[in-house]
Structure 1
Amino acid sequence: MNSNPTEKIVYLTFDDGPSKNTELILDILKDNDVHATFFIISPYIEPHIKFVERAYKEGNAIGNHTADHEFQHIYTSEEAFFNNFEKQQKFIKETTGSDCTIFRFPGGSHNTIVANSRGKDFTKNITKKLNEQGINVYDWNVDSGDAKGNNIPAETLIQNVAKNIKDKEGNYKNPAIILMHDCMTKTTTVEALPGIIKLLKNEGYTFRTLK
């Protein structure tokens, strides 16, 4: 992912959109001249498709996060998973005009709920099959903590990133893949984003999109 070992790379990633918050995030990214990766589900409201189109046109990456993110549907069997995955692949191709090559499991690939109900090899086996199709699967190594609830203070989210961007030895992670969310309820993530970008720029990170 990083050909220059002295360069610090960061990937801003947003899950579970698109929503009105996606539009606000796109404004902030544009103002700061950086790009992000959006792991999207199918829009709850059809007009929100335009946020996916805009994100793609402005140079951000669009990733598959399954069509509906419903654990009880997508994780019942491999067949159910791939049906949902392919449905979303089709939606992304129709919306952006390009084949989607990146994916993130709802809950991540080391999800304990799935591991407990389907066995730890369930997502591993799916990952192997996705890789064979040319799909790259991404988790994250920096958690903003915005999934823990709604209306978590923006300052807390910034502090979470500042803390989690370093490893146990206090070294900055490189590359850093930051988990955030742009669904309807995550208004404080939008509020925190300018501060998170400023923090990362101050630490000398270069912003990239996942491929």
Structure 2
Amino acid sequence: MSIKQWKQVITITVVATIIILFILTIVFAIRSYHLKNFMESDNVIIMSEDRDSRHQDLKELVRYFEKATPKGNLSYKQQYPALYVENTYRFIKSNDKEKVCYLTFDDGPDAENTAKILDILQQFDIHATFFVVYKDDEASNLLYNRIVKEGHTIAVHTASHDYDEIYSSVSAYLKDFSKISSHIIEVTGIKPEIFRFPGGSVNAYNIKIHKELTAEMLRRGYVYYDWTVSGGDAAKAYVSSSEIVENVVSGCEEESESIVLLHDGAGHYTTAEALPEIIRRLKNQGFSFAALDNSVNPCFFGY
């Protein structure tokens, strides 16, 4: 090949590369524009800093996620026909002047920690939300029932808490969800209507399927809740009760409505130790306490 021909090949390659990059830039800009407009619209339920709590319709969010899902095998939509709940996706407008804290506990029940936390909540006459895992021993079943009988919300977290398994596909997640949901119904007579994704709605394990998975769970009527404040007690390594208190109290300072992540699974005994001081200090800040249900404006992580 002559030098002239080489120059022509190089020129054509450079021009083609520029054109492709230009097209990709335009496509990315258009998608970003539409996503930005959607995320800023009144149809998305994501708690921003201003905590806009207008009535909003999650059906638009379902449609958005369904458009973003692959067009391949969606047979999971026919699986587990009992996994449906009635939901209008309309939420109660909160009063900006009222400060509300939703205490939530993941990974229980635990014979020691969950029981202590229930005792403390009873002592202060407040209600909370328990996102539970699957256990079928007598002590755990008694705790599931105690949660319900004492006026708290029992909700789905996961049966296995095996991230690799449950996030391997939408079908795998539904299988896990069905197991714990069916168990809660069998033990307590209550059908859970809300849930929390292990690791939150967007994490390193579900990144490939989270849009598809979210669309399917919302389509089935379930509402999920991430959190606005974390106690920092997720790791089983020792976290002092004083640190947990400060994490929660300082996190709630700028919020009129807070969804607080705590843990009551095995090994989280300092969470129970921290709870009385958390409650006292938040009460002194003017907070009331309530349990979540599917009428509460959800908190979603950003996408």
The alpha-carbon distance between structure 1 residues 123 and 46, as it changes in their structure 2 partners (threshold 3 A), is farther
Corresponding residue of 1:147:
234
Equivalent residues in 2 for 1:22-33, closer than 5 Å: 22-33=114-125
Work out the CA distance in 2 between the residues paired with 1:199 and 1:113: 36
Structure 1 position 131 matched with structure 2 position 206: no
The answer on 1:62 being equivalent to 2:62 is no
Q: What secondary structure, in the 3-state scheme, does the structure 2 residue paired with 1:114 have?
A: coil
Deviation at 1:150, TM superposition (A): 3.0
Matches within 5 A, 1:63-142: 63-115=155-207, 119=208, 122-142=209-229
Q: Which of the residues 195, 201, 204 maps onto 2:283?
A: 201
Aligned residues: 201
TM-score, with structure 2 as normaliser: 0.64
Instruction: Give the distance between the partners of 1:46 and 1:106, measured in 2 at CA.
Output: 25
Higher relative contact order (CA closer than 8 Å, sequence separation 6+): 1
Change in CA separation of 1:90 and 1:44 when aligned onto 2, cut-off 3 Å: closer
**Percent sequence identity over matched residues?**
42
List alignment gaps of at least 5 residues for structure 2. 1-91, 294-303
The amino acid of 1:136's aligned partner reads: V
Greater C-alpha radius of gyration: 2
5+ residue gaps, structure 1: 167-171
Contact 2:117 2:272 in 1 (8 A): yes
The CA RMSD over aligned residues, in Å, is 1.4
Q: Distance in 1 between the 2:218 and 2:256 partners?
A: 23
| CA–CA distance in structure 2, aligned partners of residues 46 and 65 of structure 1 | 20
Tell me, yes or no, if the aligned pair for 1:13 and 1:38 is still in contact at 8 Å: yes
> Is residue 161 from structure 1 mapped to residue 244 from structure 2 by the alignment?
no
TM-score normalised by length of structure 1: 0.90
Identify which range, 75-84 or 46-55, moves more after superposition.
46-55
For residues 118 and 274 of structure 2, the distance between their equivalents in structure 1, rounded to whole angstroms, comes to: 14
1:6 aligns with 2:6: no
